[in-house]
Structure 1
């Protein structure tokens, strides 16, 4: 399959109505490696800007703990706006013998998971919609608000993969991967077109980032002034956690040769490997 960008539109824990409490984005490569990051939205009326200071990520409030101080006292953990972040490999197959209509059953292996240090696998049934953009997902998983296994539905939108101005109209996908057992470290960075996301977990401590390529316009101070310059650049729009992630290494694939063997990015004690470089 082609690399893709999936944005969650809503989730519904049955029998409750749909809502979207997070900013959720999933980037998936041609080889079905993925990075899924879900940031809790702030209360209504507050800024919608994503966290971007790189402060250490404390775990999320437990169910039934509306007061942050209670969470610290009972779980010895402060509060975070990270709802969930995980990365790994997905797979899908067509199901034709359950019900009247065929559908796609997808499985996600969590090689990195912000909620646990154990291996995780989850599964959902995918139903593409007639508009060709949206997909409905149905399944069961633990509702974080109740701690109970609950049926759910999620609506996903496939966002357009955009090119950058310096890559001659080609869309690009790049994957960087880190596995360092001696440091108890795992990391994955995926760039799909104009978006890049990364997760790094060292021990039980996690960091994650999201970058977006776009256009910024600079204007003069005079009210009647017109746009005088367009600046095209990558901009970090989210960073949580204190670790460095070499997302910028994926920004210019013109410097990379897919046939040049094992290519790496080194930072400190860590060595990241390019596992995919795709243009289409």
Structure 2
């Protein structure tokens, strides 16, 4: 069953990656067609996703940013400007206006954080239809009825446990991809921007992963400490999981099978858009 869930998700994620990299919509949009948009204000990037009324992928774009730290917007205007550029780009490609969007925040970051995200969305001219928590958005895209989603972003690790399609437990810890960057910066005595680029260099992945592996083990230990509350399957998502050995490390620490979709950085953004009703 777990493989079937990922099979469906992986097919959609491959399509979305092609759209993002090719900057072309999946299909032409009909005049006055109802579109759904999702906004993921991440620590390392801001992603805009566009779906149709049946949750089929239409378009997507992203831009790297420094406007969010540990899941919290710290530079309001930079977030607004980036999202406005993404929105204008999407509208030009699609030939229509994006009128509404849903946003998301890490679990338990509070109403204030949710309000800031909503304000960013509405500053671009879209109506914010809601703010979801990130792992719940990921689970919706994955169509997960029972299981545990571990959403590892740039600043936080959010864990949501689902049983019979209901959220029964959620936690959030301040550790993520940015902490990997800090470890790399300390190890090589380089600035954070240089460390971030090093982290993304696929040619140096083996060397980089050897340095940041303890951070991954710490993330897995957070899940392990939940004990019997964890329900299989365990699925990891988020940009910080984009290392070949990530799931192997997670599995060894948890002593259970761990799954990761293709292009895990796009799972949550796509799930967010599904809530835009």
TM-score tier, shorter chain, comes to: under 0.3
- Structure with higher strand content: 1
TM-score w.r.t. length of structure 2: 0.26
Higher relative contact order (CA 8 A, sep 6+): 2
Q: Which structure: larger Rg? A: 1
